[in-house]
Chain A
């Protein structure tokens, strides 16, 4: 089976840094994705990791350790608009493009 685990909720203040962790156990691994989803809207792509290490993209960075089955999403210089659900998803198994999602981490950014 596939298991993707991430915290349910996190809070932080504007301007701060927050790290959202994700652990996974999947049969097969073809990459790990992070998506952002605002309430009532579609998930939007944030990052993709397939090799170990850190990928940086502006205020967002994502890290992957395949041996540990672990990833994190790092958000810097938090803004109010970053309040959203952050979904960790693993492309595993034999079907490229089929994603196994965690339940999402609801991040609330306070002024």
Chain B
């Protein structure tokens, strides 16, 4: 078990560019979550998947954001036409129902939009 892994760790992009992040959850976990965290704040929920189905999306997730989990394993989060306000740490987490849905977080992708 290698834990939740995210790629890349850091991403610097120019405003208006598209970016895509990847998350590989713990293998037996069927739930996968995306959170966003800015400096001095706690993580904020963006969306979650149960297997390949995206079951809930936060109002924080504008139309420029899209997430997929095509085979119920890894997930991608894409941000189109990035804005400076998108600069944040994007955290992926996974959980398993039998473990009280305890979330295990990846190390995150730090996005900087210039």
Q: State the A residues within 8 Å of B (CB).
A: 4, 30-31, 33, 35, 40-45, 48, 50, 87, 89, 91, 95-104
Could you tell me which residues of chain B, from 39 to 59, have a CB within 8 Å of some CB in chain A? 40-45, 48, 55-56
Q: A42-B105, A95-B55, A95-B56 are in contact. Are A48 and B100 (CB under 8 A)?
A: yes
27 A-B contact pairs sorted by A residue (CB < 8 Å): A31-B100, A31-B101, A33-B103, A35-B105, A42-B4, A42-B91, A42-B105, A42-B107, A43-B43, A45-B102, A45-B104, A50-B100, A89-B42, A95-B48, A95-B56, A96-B97, A97-B31, A97-B48, A97-B101, A98-B33, A98-B45, A98-B48, A100-B45, A101-B43, A103-B40, A103-B41, A104-B40
Given contacts A41-B107, A44-B105, A98-B45, 4 further A-B contacts (CB under 8 A): A43-B91, A43-B105, A97-B103, A99-B103
Distance between Cα atoms of A41 and B33 in the complex (Å): 17
State in angstroms the CA–CA spacing of A64 and B61 once bound together: 32
Indicate if B25 sits at the interface (CB-CB under 8 A).
no
Given A87-B42, A99-B103, A103-B41, A42 contacting B48 (CB threshold 8 A): no
Q: Taking A45-B102, A48-B102 as contacts, is the C-beta distance between A98 and B43 under 8 angstroms? A: no
CB–CB B43/A99 < 8 A: yes
Q: Which residues of A contact B103 (CB under 8 A)?
A: 33, 45, 97, 99
Q: Which residue of A lies closest to B42 (CB)?
A: A101
Q: Which of B99-114 contact A (CB under 8 A)?
A: 100-108, 110
A95 and B95 alpha carbons, distance in the complex (Å): 13
Task: Determine whether the beta carbon of A42 is less than 8 Å from that of B106.
Answer: yes
In the complex, which residues of chain A have a beta carbon less than 8 angstroms from the beta carbon of B43? 43, 87, 99, 101
CA distance A30 to B80 in the complex (A): 34
* Complex CA distance for A5 and B44, rounded to whole angstroms: 15
A30, A41, A44, A99 — most chain B CB neighbours (10 Å):
A99
> A98 CA to B33 CA in the complex, in Å?
8
Q: Which residues of chain A have C-beta atoms less than 8 A from B31's C-beta?
A: 97
